[in-house]
Amino acid sequence: MTIFKKITGIGTAALLALTLTACGSDDTNDSSKGKAEAGSRSVGETVEYNIVGIDPGSGHMEATAKALEVYDLKDWNVIAGNGAAMTAALKRAYDKEEPIVITGWNPHWKFLKYDLKFLDDPELVYGDSEEIHSIGRIGLQKDLPEAYEIFQRFKWGTDDMSEIMVAIEDGTKPEKAAQNWVDANEDKIAEWTSGVNKVDGDEIKLVYAPWDSEIASHNMMKIVLEDMGYDVTLTAVEPGPMFSAIADGGADATFAAWLPITHKTYVEKFEGKLDDIGVNMVGVRQGLVVPAYMEDVNSIEDLKK
């Protein structure tokens, strides 16, 4: 079994169509009927042996492919799409209390909107817990010392990030949601910037993976840097190009490196070409996620039943 065999690429529209079909397109079907049908079938049968995933180039998807091997889930496949398609599929299933298995990570707004649970991972394929690191290009400290010092000091919590994510999900534009958080957290911003000299229009390029969590963190840091006098460019790319851009100097920094598991492959690939500036968040987690109403599914091992 390889990652190429077990991860199925699919466009966003196609993924949504598949999900609607799997969940049932007849809105007149009530949740009790769905539960009754699910109770007579295995977990795999209820979801057609599909795990709804995200971007095929993400380390999270690579870990999920490995999980299928480690737990001997021969009949299962991971549907590659993107974060928006995954959360749309989750909402559709959740609203009807129907079974679904998704790739998930926290912090993410879905854990505040829905009652979800991570499946136990006794083999620790996804690791125990992870950290988010700030990564810069080689030479960043010399070229942009003020920004580098801010990045070294930058630390915040999952609740901080979640506050911005939930606001965005509720319809606030990312820039406005980030600005609202910055305005409400002047003391925390001061911990990062106090005593750091302002600059006059120095350019800085930030790159990030297009995930809700990273949209929140990078829009927030853009405001902080602009207030310090920087001319900031934000670019959303897939994880591979994100690390490549920093390694070759095309971008200056990112705050989206999940370690030691999720982005291990990229950090090893570009060893010696990246500056690990420091940890900006601890206690983050990734893995397979299901709604809490799937009471008989509590471990990845349960997917074999």
CATH of the domain at 76: 3.40.190.100
Query: 142 with 239, same domain?
Result: yes
Residue 197 DSSP one-character state: P
pLDDT of residue 82 exceeding 70, the answer is: yes
CATH of the domain at 140: 3.10.105.10
Q: Which tokens in the block code for residue 23?
A: 């969940």
Tally the C-alpha atoms within 13 A of residue 263's C-alpha that lie toward its C-beta. 27
Collect all residues with Cβ–Cβ distance below 8 Å to 114 and sequence separation of at least 6.
Answer: 90, 94, 291
H or E segment to which residue 222 belongs: helix 212-227
* Model pLDDT for residues 224-248, shown as the tens digit of each residue: 999 999 999 999 999 999 999 999 9
Query: 170 with 214, same domain?
Result: yes
Query: 135 with 124, same domain?
Result: no
- Expressed as residue numbers, the domain containing 276 is 130-284
* Cα–Cα distance for residue pair 187/118, rounded to 1 Å: 34
Tally of structural domains, the chain:
2
DSSP string, 94-131: HHTT----EEEEES-THHHHS-EEEPB-TT-TT-S-EE
Least confident of 56-70, 115-129, 136-150: 56-70
pTM above 0.95, yes or no: no
* Cα–Cα distance for residue pair 81/89, rounded to 1 Å: 11
> Looking at residue 112, what is its pLDDT?
87
Q: Which tokens in the block code for residue 50?
A: 């599909």
Query: 180 with 100, same domain?
Result: no
* Cα–Cα distance for residue pair 181/202, rounded to 1 Å: 24
Query: 37 with 139, same domain?
Result: no
β partners of residue 235 = 207
> Looking at residue 7, what is its pLDDT?
54
Query: 149 with 111, same domain?
Result: no
Query: 122 with 135, same domain?
Result: no
Query: 96 with 198, same domain?
Result: no
- Whole-number mean pLDDT of the chain? 88
